[in-house]
Amino acid sequence: MTANGRSAPPRPCGRLLRGADRYGRPSQRSARVEARVRRQALTGASALLLALLAGKATAGESSLSEKLSLLAKAYPDAIERIDGNILVLRDGGAPLDIDDGKKKSHAEKLAAADIEDSLSQIYPLGACAKAPAVDFDPGRIRSEALLKRLYGSSATAVRRDLVTVDWFGERLRVTRKHGTAAALKAIAADLSRHAELKRYLSPSAGTFNWRPIAGAATLSVHSFGAAIDLNTGFADYWRWSGKGVHGYRNRYPLDIVEIFEKHGFIWGGRWYHFDTMHFEYRPELIAIARAAGADACGH
């Protein structure tokens, strides 16, 4: 946030100025008054700046415990409870560490995130698209261990829960788990009311595909049947841009983004490593964004 410039302190007037003129320099009383006025102006401006900064921080903050509570609410059929630093799941498997205690760079988080890492950046909501800040990748940092427990640890396991969703003349395969397919059906219904948007939506570039992320060893969310790519004719992707992460642009109408977010999907156009055709089902991040009042328009 940029603080406003401070206005000059008010000049002494009347008898004080006459005293200064008479002796060729400010009188002692005039100097004291000027100093006091200057201190008051500086103190007031500083207090205002601190108040604004405090308000800004408070609006965007959520504690880890609050985030974990929203994570558990987003996947009630899978997560049994939070117990200290472990996440207990209903599948009877080993609990997962929430925080592995390792200090990581952004690149290390992308490569080997724990659950705490995956919640460390708050996704912003709203009909605004601008080039994200350096390494701001909310949702791109993922706990693969958690995703495998939520959706399946192999392509075979994930396929058992795939269902068909009608998508503007196409039939897409999406996981039914945790309401993913139901959410995508609701998105299709909302988008169908806007005929002018269809050309951006179809043909889809794909949903389920068990594969690693391009240039990485970690699995794409497409591997779990919980992501969709839109028509590549309007796509901008940092690896294709010719300028890498510095080539950000978006050609999809933001009405599409808002409808996806309404139903629990996040958008790859919010990422520093942008992928504007990509949406993935992350209801916990949408819930955290709403709780934090995270606004992509910066209001």
Give me 291's structure tokens: 């709780």
**Which domain, by its residues, includes 226?**
62-292
* In a shared domain, residues 19 and 125: no
Contacts of 225 (CB under 8 A, 6+ apart): 151, 158, 161, 162, 173, 174, 175, 180, 207, 208
Decide if 299 is inside a domain: no
Q: What is the DSSP string of 188-252?
A: HHHHTT-GGGHHHHSS--BS----BPTTSSSBPGGGGT-EEE--GGG--BTTTSSSGGGG----S
Contacts of 210 (CB under 8 A, 6+ apart): 154, 155, 158, 219, 222, 223
* In a shared domain, residues 171 and 49: no
* In a shared domain, residues 39 and 180: no
Query: What are 133-181's pLDDT values in tens digits?
Result: 999 999 999 999 999 999 999 999 999 999 999 999 999 999 999 999 9
Decide if 274 is inside a domain: yes
Decide if 132 is inside a domain: yes
* In a shared domain, residues 38 and 66: no
Query: What are 68-86's pLDDT values in tens digits?
Result: 999 999 999 999 999 999 9
User: Does residue 7 sit in helix, strand or coil?
Assistant: coil
* In a shared domain, residues 67 and 138: yes
Supply the pLDDT for residue 241: 82
Supply the pLDDT for residue 60: 59
* In a shared domain, residues 164 and 243: yes
Decide if 8 is inside a domain: no
Supply the pLDDT for residue 52: 34
Query: What are 3-42's pLDDT values in tens digits?
Result: 344 343 333 333 333 333 333 344 444 445 454 544 444 3
Decide if 151 is inside a domain: yes
* In a shared domain, residues 144 and 233: yes
Query: What are 42-74's pLDDT values in tens digits?
Result: 344 443 333 333 333 334 578 999 999 999 999
Decide if 276 is inside a domain: yes
* In a shared domain, residues 77 and 31: no
- The Cα-based distances of 110 to 120, 148, 209 in angstroms read 12, 16, 20
* In a shared domain, residues 39 and 75: no
pTM for the predicted model, two decimal places: 0.79
Supply the pLDDT for residue 14: 38
* In a shared domain, residues 187 and 94: yes
Q: How many domains does the chain have?
A: 2
* Residue finishing a domain among 58, 90, 110: 58
Taking all residues of the chain, what is their mean pLDDT, rounded to a whole number? 85
Supply the pLDDT for residue 37: 40
* In a shared domain, residues 288 and 202: yes
* In a shared domain, residues 157 and 230: yes
Decide if 216 is inside a domain: yes
Decide if 214 is inside a domain: yes
